[in-house]
């Protein structure tokens, strides 16, 4: 299978959505509650979508359950990484490692063997994304622990990406698979928020900031839903690499809306990401 140019554009839109909801959570006063509300919105949306989506094939359930479990591990590792390091350091490492691992194992696990040009493109995207973590220099002290947790997080990203790619193809119903995944992912994060935040704190947040989490949740669920659908249409490694350009979009959002600096390092990383995408796209179009 090849990834059509239209699907490339749609996945890039999903990457922008991913960066947008992460910016919503990043800029919030209480990231845990904001993230829980994002997941709750996705869960409710998924449950409602199930009414119209219909059933999925039995063969897809092991992949769906496996992906749900790994998503919870992913959330745990990501929170541990953030406990030891800054988001601008942790997030690019985690997101950059994922597509590279998917590309390396997609042949044996999915039966998708990439050409040299495709591998070079994915490698360039992964290096470009990961290098954004070092815009402020090499890690030291607590950052080393953050880096270790970020690397483990990257392994979980690759794992659930491969499982979702296999699951959506086995489901016979991409919309149903997406709905179930959103419905199953929400409860765990909500329980953590309820345990770690007193009800008065939750109530005060919901009275004034509920719209942020709901908007972020709608964007997050739609964005990953698009990515899962795309994995049923073309090579999973291509979709994974395209989706992780969200880190570049996040840097641009930070520059425009959060007044963060961009700098020569980030410009170089962006150029490498674009070069990788061109390598992949030229192969697709050839």
Look up residue 82 and give its two tokens. 């953030």
Closest Cα to residue 60, out of 239, 157, 181, 155? 181
Higher-confidence residue of 136 and 214: namely 214
Q: Binning pLDDT at 50, 70 and 90, where does residue 29 land? A: confident
Cα–Cα distance for residue pair 270/124, rounded to 1 Å:
10
Structural domain range at position 241: 5-285
Neighbours of 68 (CB within 10 A): 18
Q: What percent of the chain has pLDDT over 90?
A: 42
* pLDDT over 80 at 61, yes or no: yes
C-alpha torsion angle, residues 195, 198, 203, 209 (rounded to 10): -70
Give residue for tokens 């193809």.
169
Q: For residues 170 and 58, is the Cβ–Cβ distance under 8 A?
A: no
Look up residue 148 and give its two tokens. 């270790």
**Structural domains in the chain (count):** 1
State the pLDDT at residue 285: 45
* pLDDT over 60 at 142, yes or no: no
The top-scoring range by mean pLDDT among 62-71, 204-213, 268-277 is 62-71
Tens of pLDDT, residues 120-139 = 999 999 999 999 888 777 76
The whole-angstrom distance between residue 44's C-alpha and the CA centroid of its chain comes to 20
* pLDDT over 80 at 28, yes or no: no
Q: For residues 19 and 246, is the Cβ–Cβ distance under 8 A?
A: yes
**CA distances (Å), 262 to each of 113, 254, 259, in order?**
36, 8, 9
Tens of pLDDT, residues 108-121 = 999 888 888 889 99
What sign has the CA pseudo-torsion 27, 31, 37, 42? positive
**CA distances (Å), 80 to each of 43, 101, 151, in order?**
23, 21, 12
Of 92-96, 145-149, 225-229, 281-285, the least confident: 281-285
Of 21-30, 154-163, 216-225, the least confident: 21-30
């Amino acid at each position: 299978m090849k990834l059509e140019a239209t699907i490339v554009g749609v996945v890039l839109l999903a990457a922008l959505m991913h960066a947008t909801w992460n910016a919503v959570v990043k800029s919030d006063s209480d990231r845990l509650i904001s993230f829980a509300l994002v997941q709750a919105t996705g869960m409710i949306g998924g449950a409602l979508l199930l009414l119209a989506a219909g059933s999925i094939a039995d063969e897809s359930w092991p992949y769906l359950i496996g992906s749900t479990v790994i998503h919870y591990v992913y959330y745990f590792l990501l929170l541990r990484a953030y406990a030891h390091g800054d988001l601008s350091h942790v997030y690019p490492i985690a997101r950059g490692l994922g597509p590279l691992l998917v590309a390396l194992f997609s042949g044996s696990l999915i039966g998708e063997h990439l050409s040299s040009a495709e591998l070079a493109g994915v490698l360039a995207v992964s290096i470009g994304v990961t290098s954004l973590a070092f815009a402020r220099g090499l890690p030291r002290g607590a950052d080393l622990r953050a880096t270790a947790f970020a690397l483990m997080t990257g392994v979980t990203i690759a794992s659930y990406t491969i499982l979702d790619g296999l699951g959506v193809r086995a489901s016979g119903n991409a919309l149903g698979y997406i709905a179930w995944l959103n419905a199953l992912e929400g409860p765990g994060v909500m329980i953590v928020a309820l345990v770690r935040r007193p009800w008065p704190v939750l109530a005060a947040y919901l009275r004034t900031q509920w719209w942020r989490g709901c908007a972020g949740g709608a964007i997050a669920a739609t964005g990953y839903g698009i990515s899962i659908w795309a994995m049923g249409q073309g090579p999973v490694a291509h979709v994974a690499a395209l989706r992780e350009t969200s880190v570049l979009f996040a840097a641009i959002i930070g520059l425009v809306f959060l007044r963060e600096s961009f700098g020569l390092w980030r410009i170089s990383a962006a150029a490498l990401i674009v070069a990788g995408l061109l390598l992949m796209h030229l192969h697709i179009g050839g």
